[in-house]
Protein backbone atom coordinates (compact mmCIF):
# COMPACT_ATOMS: atom_id res chain seq x y z
CA UNK A 1 0.00 0.00 0.00
CA UNK A 2 1.19 3.47 -0.90
CA UNK A 3 0.02 6.93 0.04
CA UNK A 4 -1.65 8.96 -2.73
CA UNK A 5 -2.49 12.65 -2.41
CA UNK A 6 -4.87 14.25 -4.89
CA UNK A 7 -7.68 16.78 -5.05
CA UNK A 8 -11.16 16.47 -6.57
CA UNK A 9 -12.93 19.61 -7.79
CA UNK A 10 -16.73 19.45 -7.53
CA UNK A 11 -19.97 21.40 -7.31
CA UNK A 12 -22.47 20.75 -4.51
CA UNK A 13 -25.43 23.00 -5.22
CA UNK A 14 -27.67 23.99 -2.36
CA UNK A 15 -25.22 23.20 0.44
CA UNK A 16 -23.44 25.80 2.54
CA UNK A 17 -19.87 25.25 3.66
CA UNK A 18 -20.82 24.34 7.24
CA UNK A 19 -23.41 21.78 6.19
CA UNK A 20 -21.09 20.40 3.50
CA UNK A 21 -18.17 20.12 5.94
CA UNK A 22 -20.15 18.19 8.51
CA UNK A 23 -21.73 15.99 5.86
CA UNK A 24 -18.39 15.05 4.28
CA UNK A 25 -16.36 14.69 7.48
CA UNK A 26 -18.92 12.20 8.81
CA UNK A 27 -18.53 10.05 5.67
CA UNK A 28 -14.96 10.54 4.38
CA UNK A 29 -12.20 10.58 6.97
CA UNK A 30 -9.08 11.01 4.84
CA UNK A 31 -10.00 14.22 3.02
CA UNK A 32 -9.94 17.96 3.69
CA UNK A 33 -12.56 20.31 2.27
CA UNK A 34 -11.73 23.72 0.79
CA UNK A 35 -14.20 26.19 -0.65
CA UNK A 36 -16.56 27.03 -1.99
CA UNK A 37 -14.78 29.39 -4.36
CA UNK A 38 -16.44 32.39 -5.95
CA UNK A 39 -17.57 30.10 -8.79
CA UNK A 40 -19.24 27.68 -6.35
CA UNK A 41 -16.63 24.93 -6.75
CA UNK A 42 -15.22 23.02 -3.81
CA UNK A 43 -11.98 21.11 -3.46
CA UNK A 44 -11.68 17.87 -1.54
CA UNK A 45 -8.05 16.91 -0.95
CA UNK A 46 -7.47 13.24 -0.26
CA UNK A 47 -4.54 11.59 1.45
CA UNK A 48 -5.41 7.99 0.65
CA UNK A 49 -3.73 4.61 1.16
CA UNK A 50 -4.20 2.23 -1.79
CA UNK A 51 -2.30 -0.23 -3.95
CA UNK A 52 -2.19 2.26 -6.85
CA UNK A 53 -3.21 5.80 -7.75
CA UNK A 54 -6.11 4.59 -9.96
CA UNK A 55 -7.38 2.45 -7.06
CA UNK A 56 -7.15 5.40 -4.67
CA UNK A 57 -9.00 7.65 -7.10
CA UNK A 58 -11.72 5.08 -7.82
CA UNK A 59 -12.39 4.59 -4.10
CA UNK A 60 -12.49 8.35 -3.47
CA UNK A 61 -14.83 8.91 -6.40
CA UNK A 62 -17.20 6.20 -5.16
CA UNK A 63 -17.19 7.65 -1.64
CA UNK A 64 -17.81 11.21 -2.84
CA UNK A 65 -20.66 10.08 -5.12
CA UNK A 66 -22.17 8.09 -2.25
CA UNK A 67 -21.84 10.97 0.23
CA UNK A 68 -23.07 13.62 -2.24
CA UNK A 69 -25.13 11.97 -5.00
CA UNK A 70 -26.28 15.40 -6.25
CA UNK A 71 -22.72 16.71 -6.62
CA UNK A 72 -21.10 17.21 -10.01
CA UNK A 73 -17.53 15.97 -9.89
CA UNK A 74 -15.63 18.11 -12.36
CA UNK A 75 -12.05 16.81 -12.33
CA UNK A 76 -8.94 15.79 -10.52
CA UNK A 77 -7.20 19.09 -9.93
CA UNK A 78 -3.83 19.12 -11.64
CA UNK A 79 -1.68 21.29 -13.81
CA UNK A 80 -2.78 19.77 -17.12
CA UNK A 81 -2.48 22.83 -19.36
CA UNK A 82 0.82 24.66 -19.63
CA UNK A 83 2.03 27.82 -21.34
CA UNK A 84 5.60 28.10 -22.64
CA UNK A 85 6.54 29.75 -19.34
CA UNK A 86 4.96 26.90 -17.37
CA UNK A 87 6.79 24.34 -19.53
CA UNK A 88 10.09 26.14 -18.95
CA UNK A 89 9.59 26.23 -15.17
CA UNK A 90 8.50 22.59 -14.91
CA UNK A 91 11.25 21.35 -17.25
CA UNK A 92 13.99 23.43 -15.62
CA UNK A 93 14.72 25.35 -18.83
CA UNK A 94 14.65 28.99 -19.84
CA UNK A 95 11.63 30.43 -21.63
CA UNK A 96 13.83 31.05 -24.68
CA UNK A 97 14.97 27.42 -24.76
CA UNK A 98 11.35 26.23 -24.75
CA UNK A 99 10.35 28.79 -27.40
CA UNK A 100 13.11 27.46 -29.67
CA UNK A 101 11.99 23.84 -29.06
CA UNK A 102 8.34 24.74 -29.77
CA UNK A 103 9.28 26.50 -33.03
CA UNK A 104 11.60 23.69 -34.16
CA UNK A 105 14.70 25.91 -34.09
CA UNK A 106 16.39 23.77 -31.46
CA UNK A 107 16.31 20.04 -30.89
CA UNK A 108 14.96 17.35 -33.21
CA UNK A 109 11.62 19.07 -33.96
CA UNK A 110 8.21 17.51 -33.63
CA UNK A 111 7.16 19.39 -30.50
CA UNK A 112 3.55 18.49 -29.68
CA UNK A 113 0.89 20.76 -31.18
CA UNK A 114 -0.73 23.27 -28.86
CA UNK A 115 -4.03 22.19 -27.30
CA UNK A 116 -5.48 25.68 -27.66
CA UNK A 117 -5.02 29.34 -26.96
CA UNK A 118 -5.66 31.74 -24.12
CA UNK A 119 -6.37 34.90 -26.05
CA UNK A 120 -4.77 35.73 -29.38
CA UNK A 121 -1.12 35.22 -28.46
CA UNK A 122 -0.81 32.67 -25.65
CA UNK A 123 -0.74 29.02 -26.63
CA UNK A 124 -1.27 26.19 -24.14
CA UNK A 125 -0.17 22.57 -24.34
CA UNK A 126 -1.36 19.46 -22.55
CA UNK A 127 1.31 18.68 -19.99
CA UNK A 128 1.03 14.95 -20.71
CA UNK A 129 1.99 15.50 -24.36
CA UNK A 130 4.89 17.78 -23.44
CA UNK A 131 6.25 15.45 -20.74
CA UNK A 132 6.05 12.46 -23.09
CA UNK A 133 7.90 14.41 -25.80
CA UNK A 134 10.66 15.47 -23.38
CA UNK A 135 11.06 11.86 -22.23
CA UNK A 136 10.86 10.08 -25.58
CA UNK A 137 12.42 12.68 -27.86
CA UNK A 138 15.01 14.37 -25.67
CA UNK A 139 15.58 11.56 -23.17
CA UNK A 140 14.71 13.95 -20.34
CA UNK A 141 12.09 12.38 -18.08
CA UNK A 142 10.30 15.01 -16.04
CA UNK A 143 9.73 14.10 -12.42
CA UNK A 144 6.08 15.10 -11.95
CA UNK A 145 4.55 13.11 -14.80
CA UNK A 146 3.93 9.64 -13.39
CA UNK A 147 0.13 9.79 -13.51
CA UNK A 148 -0.39 12.61 -16.03
CA UNK A 149 -1.82 10.48 -18.87
CA UNK A 150 -4.19 8.66 -16.51
CA UNK A 151 -5.40 11.92 -14.93
CA UNK A 152 -5.94 13.49 -18.36
CA UNK A 153 -8.02 10.50 -19.54
CA UNK A 154 -9.93 10.40 -16.26
CA UNK A 155 -10.73 14.12 -16.41
CA UNK A 156 -11.84 13.79 -20.03
CA UNK A 157 -14.17 10.93 -18.99
CA UNK A 158 -15.65 13.11 -16.22
CA UNK A 159 -16.20 15.88 -18.77
CA UNK A 160 -17.97 13.49 -21.15
CA UNK A 161 -20.13 12.29 -18.25
CA UNK A 162 -21.01 15.90 -17.34
CA UNK A 163 -21.87 16.91 -20.90
CA UNK A 164 -23.75 13.74 -21.90
CA UNK A 165 -27.04 14.99 -20.47
CA UNK A 166 -26.90 17.98 -22.84
CA UNK A 167 -26.55 15.81 -25.93
CA UNK A 168 -29.21 14.17 -28.01
CA UNK A 169 -29.20 10.43 -28.68
CA UNK A 170 -27.38 10.71 -32.03
CA UNK A 171 -24.78 13.07 -30.56
CA UNK A 172 -24.12 10.62 -27.71
CA UNK A 173 -23.72 7.82 -30.27
CA UNK A 174 -21.16 9.85 -32.22
CA UNK A 175 -19.20 10.61 -29.03
CA UNK A 176 -19.31 6.94 -28.03
CA UNK A 177 -18.09 6.01 -31.52
CA UNK A 178 -15.00 8.17 -31.00
CA UNK A 179 -13.99 6.13 -27.96
CA UNK A 180 -11.78 3.05 -28.38
CA UNK A 181 -13.77 -0.16 -28.86
CA UNK A 182 -11.88 -1.93 -26.12
CA UNK A 183 -11.81 0.87 -23.56
CA UNK A 184 -13.13 -1.30 -20.74
CA UNK A 185 -11.09 -4.36 -21.67
Give the pLDDT band of residue 84 (cuts 50, 70, 90): very high
Q: How many domains does the chain have?
A: 2
111 domain residue, yes or no:
yes
Instruction: Tell me whether residue 27 is in a domain.
Output: yes
What mean pLDDT value characterizes the chain? Answer: 90
**pLDDT (average), residues 171-179:** 90
| Ramachandran bin of 120, using left for φ above 0, alpha for ψ from -120 to 50, beta for the remaining angles | alpha
Mean pLDDT, to the nearest integer, of 34-56? 91
- Same domain membership, residue 55 and residue 12: yes
pLDDT per residue as tens digits for the range 112-122: 999 999 988 89
DSSP result, the chain: -EEEEEEEEEE-TT--HHHHHHHHHHH-SSEEEE---TTSEEEEEEEEEESSHHHHHHHHHHHHHHH-TT-EEEEE----EE-HHHHHHHHT--HHHHHHHHTTSSTTS-PPPP-EEETTTEEEEEHHHHHHHHHHHHS---TT-TTHHHHHHHHHHHHHHHHHTTS-HHHHHHHHHHS-TTTT-
Is there a domain that residue 35 lies in? yes
Specify the pLDDT at position 43.
Answer: 93
Whether residues 66 and 87 share a domain: the answer is: no
More confident residue, 33 or 81: 33
Q: Which of 14-18, 35-39, 152-156 reaches the highest mean pLDDT?
A: 152-156
Within this chain, do residues 46 and 95 fall inside the same structural domain, yes or no? no
Residue 174, in any domain of the structure = no
pLDDT value of residue 49: 94
Q: What percent of the chain has pLDDT over 90?
A: 61
User: What is the domain range of residue 92?
Assistant: 81-138
> What pLDDT is attached to residue 112?
96
12, 62: one domain: yes
- Choose one of 46, 77, 108: the last residue of a domain: 77
pLDDT at 93: 95
Query: Is residue 122 a part of any domain in this protein?
Result: yes
Residues 46 and 69 in one domain: yes
Residue 9 sits in the same domain as residue 36: yes
Residues 21 and 72 in one domain: yes
Residue 86 lies in a domain: yes
Q: Which of 59, 77, 95 is the last residue of a domain?
A: 77
- Given a cut of 90, whether residue 145 has pLDDT beyond it is no
Q: Does position 62 have pLDDT exceeding 90, yes or no? A: yes
6 and 68 inside one domain: yes
The answer, yes or no, to whether residue 150 has pLDDT greater than 90, is no
Same domain for 57 and 105, yes or no, is no
Closest listed residue to residue 90, CA positions, set 153, 148, 3: 148
Question: Do residue 34 and residue 88 come from a single domain?
Answer: no
Residue 86 CA to residue 148 CA, distance in Å, equals 15
pLDDT band at residue 72 under the 50/70/90 scheme: very high
Instruction: Determine which of 46-50, 98-102, 152-156 has the lowest per-residue pLDDT on average.
Output: 152-156
pLDDT at 185 over 60: no
In a domain? residue 172: no
Amino acid sequence: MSNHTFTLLFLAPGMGIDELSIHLYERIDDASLMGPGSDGTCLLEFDRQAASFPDALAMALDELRSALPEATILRVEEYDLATMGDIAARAGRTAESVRLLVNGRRGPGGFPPAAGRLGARTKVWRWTDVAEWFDQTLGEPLSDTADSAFIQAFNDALEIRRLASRLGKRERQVVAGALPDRLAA
